[in-house]
Chain A
């Protein structure tokens, strides 16, 4: 812990960064995101086993952008978020100072995209086994059973857009949801509008999702939203050879093609 605090204090003091995005204790011993701009604020930073949130999403928030050059306490998902954001020209090399939390509690500095890419190249970025099991369970169902499953789940949705706010890739200033000419997505949170919204979000994240799971974590209604985008990861990898968030100069899977892309449904 003191290693982290000392490091951040030093970074703030020598003006390497203006703000450090990390974790601190919130109410009821819960962990929350912290934005340390001074040594006093840095002293409150913590790093425990509960610190699992992908903080990279904050990089895209305009309130955070206003604070100046950021430093970020990153986990693997955050590293991948940064890579994906870089490939979409949202962050530039050298604009973010990254402190990576190793499994043994030590910290590694990543000062360039190349070093992040090198690290990710040797890291397992797959989805967790319980999530894999859940996807397999759904895939084993009949189409109608799946429809009913999701129908029930989407019925719970209150369109609070917490999933959108938590997602590091949902950085659009104006989401399609908010477009009203035409009104693509119905505003009210009824079954039809909810289905529309979640299908739209999943398609927009296809090939971009870095499987951090923040959308499902944020959901107050406990909808397993992450499965929608997770289950697209393997098909995209297997069919197009693309995995999101691994390289800063990657080309988006859906904005490129191979003349011999394989499909079996077009007659």
Chain B
């Protein structure tokens, strides 16, 4: 027999003005199992809570119903008070007789009757409540950072500086990401390398950071605080520990005509190479697809010239397993491929290039040592047409979003060009100029006013080559769609930023969701911008959506704080309102029949397979099991389960059934 206490709050006059609180307490006090019932002016006040605590002790209550405001408001308050009085907090429920009753109905008997009904429902529910204990999950205080661009670097350094271990995985031979390709950065025009490379070095030298370059995430298992990550360290064909990074091999490699990805194809590299001079780690890798030895079976020049004998042609990929407690995804973005713009001649004409290639042309360490020379004949272009929104905001191209960074970098390109080629004329075709951000609008103004960039509002219809010139045809929509034709020497397309190649597969490997453009999805667009729907996995930078450097860094620091707060305790405490699969003695083991239809409804991959084995180790039954660390308590699996084998604490089948019964049978 239950000993339940009912506490009816007047909330000043908020409730008592329309509900007869004394009557509610009196009537519900007569319900079976109710030991004590009272009403009070302000239950949430200190004397009110004391009243509650005293009653729990005095009447030895084993359940509490507080009829007051919304549980969304004061459920934590009263549950805490119960806990302080020695009653399990999950044996306390609230009836919402303010928001759902006194405030929305007039003063009459029906309103008081409704309040009684609402209390009765909760009294019956509390009878079915179970004492629950918070779930404690141990936390491995090591973070995995996937991606070594500026976002990954920032996140890794922030976490490492909090005193936690970090494992960084980078797919390329060097960290640095797209930022290392940039010449100068907006809106200050400071040199990208100058601000980035010290950070790269810091990562490599930080005692808390383990760096794996030329490596990829193979699989992720586990859950928040307890992930197991398999990392594939691709073979570099060289012993990193021996290699001194002297670079002799890269100069002697006979294979010298491989288009250099880092230079966006504007230069060449050998088969054994370091992607760029400031690379971290500054040790080469062999590109097996283009290496003469791997293609033809002989060459080995690098092995012969290596003074420390570090080359290992037979080295194989290595898979290592690391336990981590949190994961930061910082895999960045990509830009649209050339085949996207047949009408612009991108990929067909050598002098139609994308923004990243222009960065390389303008970079002092680039293929032209920073001189703006067009790729086809090395001439200094006198007229350059910059095309903003090349692909972005174009539903016809399937990219409806704004790539956000292009307005700014196009203005920067125009300025850089003008600074280097004083008699040159930059044109910018744009749709709108979006320069929201600190000092951003001023920057674009400078490009227009000081550097005399010709901004033309309109789209380009076509580009074709004629007598060594690129004829750009478009229209100026601010001049009544006046047709415009420019004989340009070079065209730079501000191609849309898109999800990095392999983003979809990686999201599936890591178990996070992604949007229709394959950018990783945040848990909430406003309030949880760096979290994912998978607890313990966070986002940083442009893997989520196109972002500029300041935004990527800010997001990375945000993600790092989330990781640091997760690592601030050795155990994670969670509300126990999670799903649970029923277990029974042998030979039944569980009502679960292992159909796993629940598995695909779970938004959190919290349903696992559990194998019941006999003494001989043979599997005799496979059951679903809920991972308490992952389950967020939505209960979708519970509603789907045919055998009622899965139930959920706090909203159990017994509880909701009883509520319906109590509500309708008065």
Contacts and interface: CB of A to CB of B under 8 A. Distances in A.
* A–B in direct contact per CB < 8 Å: yes
Interface in A117-163: none
6 contacts: A88-B595, A90-B594, A176-B642, A182-B653, A252-B597, A255-B601
B640 interface: yes
Interface residues of B, number: 20
A64 interface: no
B221 to A, nearest CB: 20
B658 A182 contact: yes
B251 interface: no
A184 B641 CA distance: 14
A254 B653 CA distance: 20
B644 A176 contact: yes
Nearest to A85: B595
A30 interface: no
Given A89-B622, A252-B600, A172 B593 contact: yes
B665 interface: no
Interface in A222-267: 251-252, 254-256
Contacts of B654: 181-182
Given A174-B591, A181-B654, A182-B658, A88 B596 contact: yes
Contacts of A88: 595-597
Interface string B606-637: 00000000000000001000000000000000
Interface in A160-192: 171-176, 179, 181-182, 184
B644 A184 contact: yes
B600 A171 contact: no
B643 A175 contact: yes
A204 interface: yes
Contacts of B601: 255-256
A181 B652 CA distance: 11
A174 B600 contact: no
B634 to A, nearest CB: 13
A179 B588 CA distance: 14
Interface in B152-172: none
The CB with the most chain A CB atoms within 10 A, among B598, B640, B644, B654, is that of: B644
B340 interface: no
Contact of A182 (B593, B596, B657): B657
Contacts of A89: 594-596, 622
A255 B597 contact: yes
Contact of A255 (B594, B640, B657): B640
Contacts of A181: 653-654
A19 to B, nearest CB: 19
Interface of A is mostly: loop
Interface of A: 88-90, 171-176, 179, 181-182, 184, 204, 251-252, 254-256
A251 B600 CA distance: 8
Contacts of A251: 600
A251 B597 CA distance: 8
Nearest to A208: B597
Contacts of B622: 89
A57 to B, nearest CB: 15
A183 to B, nearest CB: 9
Nearest to B644: A179
Candidate in B593, B594, B598, B601 with the most chain A CB atoms within 10 angstroms: B593
Given A176-B642, A204-B642, 11 more contacts: A172-B591, A172-B642, A173-B588, A174-B588, A181-B653, A182-B653, A184-B644, A184-B653, A251-B600, A254-B597, A255-B600
Contact of A176 (B595, B596, B600, B643): B643
A204 B642 CA distance: 6
Interface in B318-348: none
Nearest to A171: B593
A197 B179 CA distance: 64
Contact of B657 (A184, A204, A252, A254): A184
A147 to B, nearest CB: 21
Contacts of B597: 88, 252, 254-255
Contacts of A252: 597, 600
B657 A173 contact: no
B651 to A, nearest CB: 13
A181 B591 CA distance: 13
A49 B643 CA distance: 37
A181 B655 CA distance: 10
A88 B643 CA distance: 14
Contacts of A182: 653-654, 657-658
A254 B642 CA distance: 12
Nearest to B642: A204
A89 B657 CA distance: 30
Contacts of B658: 182
Given A251-B600, A256-B600, A173 B653 contact: no
A251 B599 CA distance: 10
Contacts of B594: 89-90
Nearest to A259: B516
Which are the 9 A-B pairs with shortest beta-carbon distances?
A182-B657, A88-B595, A255-B601, A255-B600, A172-B643, A255-B597, A204-B642, A252-B597, A174-B591
B594 to A, nearest CB: 6
A148 B426 CA distance: 81
A172 B591 CA distance: 8
Contacts of A184: 644, 653, 657
A94 to B, nearest CB: 16
B130 to A, nearest CB: 13
Nearest to B639: A254
A174 B643 contact: yes
Residue among A184, A204, A252, A254 with the most chain B CB within 10 A? A252
A203 to B, nearest CB: 9
Contacts of B588: 173-174
B599 to A, nearest CB: 8
Nearest to B584: A174
Contacts of B599: 255
Interface string B201-214: 00000000000000
Contacts of A175: 642-643
B348 to A, nearest CB: 38
A201 to B, nearest CB: 10
A88 B599 CA distance: 11
A60 B431 CA distance: 64
Nearest to A200: B642
Contacts of A255: 597-601, 640
Contact of A173 (B591, B598, B640): B591
B586 to A, nearest CB: 13
B598 to A, nearest CB: 7
A90 B622 CA distance: 10
A193 B622 CA distance: 32
Contacts of B642: 172, 175-176, 204
Contacts of A90: 593-595
Contacts of A172: 591, 593, 642-643
Interface string B577-606: 000000000001001011111111100000
A89 B595 CA distance: 6
Contacts of A173: 588, 591, 593, 643
A171 B640 CA distance: 16
A179 B591 CA distance: 10
B100 to A, nearest CB: 20
